[in-house]
């Protein structure tokens, strides 16, 4: 950084009394601490920029491959296209009923998210505010389900859906996602962050648990609700294993299941697959961008690392 300049009056000379003062520029050195701070700031910005490039590179590669004529992953990553084309998107729309598949995925994701918010918020309020025998044990057992992988639950859930005659229906897709242990845990942390004095003041005014829950707790945990909503939407939108097991009819097919049919036994048109991936990425990116402020606040408020 160049040295800063200060203005300093020159030494007085005989006969200069009463004349306007003139000032000369004198260089003043910058302290080493400020120089070190500037270098550290520049390094931080460089690290953030490098991280952003690394994170955005796969998405850019996906988009570029989808508009590349006969795009192939064997040619290596590309970030430019000489003759871009939308042929892959036309092939995708002609091969799959994409709009029906997108509607199925969007509807399932939205309904699943709403159900998880309703059940998760009520359960979180019960664990955080109500006192009942064995509460800590029940909550610990509930959290223990987070350690059970979905692959272990596929067979019991499939038998249950078959017994209830719910195979190949929307209800079969929704049933396993009605409640989420992770959502309950995060929302419980958010509810515990609300001062109990607000509950006590509302109780003095004659409010019951339902009114306290609806008018005090829910408005104050909106960041936590937004965080759970995004995670629930992403989980439902990207779900592949359970729809693969329980769905047979094309009219109930979700987006990940539809994209899996684009892979051939011997060859795969990667430009078409990447075009389908663009359809899958865009809604998630929009949801996250709209709710990112609430997500950051919810994670910080709930103490989740």
Tell me, yes or no, whether 135 and 270 share the same domain. Answer: yes
Is the pLDDT at 18 greater than 50, yes or no?
no
6: exposed, middle or buried (Cβ count in 10 Å: 0-12, 13-18, 19+): exposed
Per-residue pLDDT at 1: 45
Q: Are residues 212 and 287 in the same domain?
A: yes
Does residue 152 sit in the same domain as residue 226?
yes
Nearest of 220, 150, 210 to residue 180 by alpha carbon: 150
304 has pLDDT over 60: no
Of 83-87, 155-159, 280-284, the range with the highest mean pLDDT is: 155-159
Q: Do 247 and 206 share a structural domain?
A: yes
Q: In the listed set 85, 104, 129, which residue is the last one of a domain according to the structure?
A: 85
Question: How much is the pLDDT for 137?
Answer: 92
Q: Same domain for 258 and 180?
A: yes
Residue 17 lies in a domain: no
Nearest alpha carbon to residue 66 among 246, 272, 290: 272
| Domain membership flag for residue 264 | yes
CATH number at residue 296: 1.10.3720.10
pLDDT digits (tens, 9 = 90+) for 91-133: 888 888 888 999 999 999 999 999 999 999 999 999 999 888 8
pLDDT digits (tens, 9 = 90+) for 178-206: 888 999 999 998 899 889 999 889 999 88
Whether residues 56 and 114 share a domain: the answer is: no
Rounded-to-integer distance, Cα 100 and Cα 252, Å: 9
Q: Is the sign of the CA dihedral 200, 205, 206, 208 positive or negative?
A: negative
Between 118 and 85, where is the model more confident?
Answer: 118
Q: What three-state secondary structure class fits 91?
A: helix
Q: Which residue has better confidence, 66 or 225?
A: 225
Cα three-residue angle 92-177-296, rounded to 5 degrees: 85
Instruction: Compute the average pLDDT of residues 31-47.
Output: 74
Interval 256-279: pLDDT, tens: 988 888 876 666 787 888 888 888
CA distance 270 to 122: 45
Mean pLDDT of 61-85: 74
Round to whole Å and give the CA distance between 169 and 177.
14
Where a domain ends, among 62, 85, 108?
85
Both 135 and 262 in one domain: the answer is yes
Same domain, 169 and 275: yes
Answer whether residue 283 shows pLDDT above 90.
Answer: no
8 A C-beta contact, residue 46 and residue 34: no
Give the chain's domain count: 2
Residue 114 maps to a domain: yes
Q: For residues 153 and 175, what is the distance between their CA atoms, to the nearest angstrom? A: 13
* Longest Cα separation, the chain: 111
In a domain, 282, yes or no: yes
Q: Are 237 and 109 in contact (CB under 8 A)?
A: yes
End position of a domain, from candidates 85, 118, 147: 85
Q: Does residue 255 share a domain with residue 148?
A: yes
Do 99 and 75 fall within a single domain? no
Top mean-pLDDT range of 33-37, 83-87, 118-122? 118-122
Q: What's the predicted TM-score (pTM) here?
A: 0.75
Same domain membership, residue 77 and residue 101:
no
Mean pLDDT of 33-40: 66
Residue 1, in any domain of the structure: no
> What does pLDDT average to over the chain?
81
Instruction: Identify the domain containing residue 293 by its residue range.
Output: 95-302
């Amino acid at each position: 950084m160049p040295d800063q300049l200060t203005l300093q009056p020159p030494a007085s000379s005989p006969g200069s009394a009463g004349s306007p003062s003139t000032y000369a520029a004198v260089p003043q050195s910058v302290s080493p601490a400020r120089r070190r701070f500037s270098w550290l700031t520049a390094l931080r910005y460089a690290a953030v920029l490098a991280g952003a490039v690394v994170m955005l590179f796969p998405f850019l590669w996906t988009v570029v491959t989808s508009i590349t004529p006969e795009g192939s992953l064997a040619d290596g990553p590309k970030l430019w296209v000489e003759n871009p084309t939308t042929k892959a998107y036309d092939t995708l729309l002609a091969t799959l009923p994409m709009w029906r598949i997108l509607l199925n995925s969007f509807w399932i994701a939205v309904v699943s998210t709403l159900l998880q918010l309703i059940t998760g918020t009520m359960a979180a309020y019960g664990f955080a505010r109500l006192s009942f025998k064995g509460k800590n044990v029940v909550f610990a057992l509930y959290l223990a389900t987070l350690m059970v992988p979905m692959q272990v639950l596929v067979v019991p859930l499939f038998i249950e859906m078959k017994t209830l005659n719910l195979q190949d229906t929307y209800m079969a897709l929704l049933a396993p996602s009605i409640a989420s242990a992770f959502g309950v845990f995060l929302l419980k942390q958010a509810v515990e962050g609300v001062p109990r004095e607000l509950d006590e003041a509302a109780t003095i005014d004659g409010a019951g648990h339902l009114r306290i829950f609806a008018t005090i707790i829910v408005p104050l945990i909106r960041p936590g609700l937004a965080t759970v909503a995004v995670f629930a939407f992403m989980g439902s939108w990207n779900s592949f294993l359970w729809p693969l097991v329980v769905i047979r009819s094309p009219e109930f097919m979700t987006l990940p299941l539809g994209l899996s049919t684009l892979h051939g036994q011997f060859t795969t048109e990667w430009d078409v697959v990447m075009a389908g991936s663009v359809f899958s990425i865009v809604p998630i990116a929009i949801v996250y961008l709209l709710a990112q402020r609430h997500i950051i606040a919810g994670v910080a408020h709930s103490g989740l690392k």
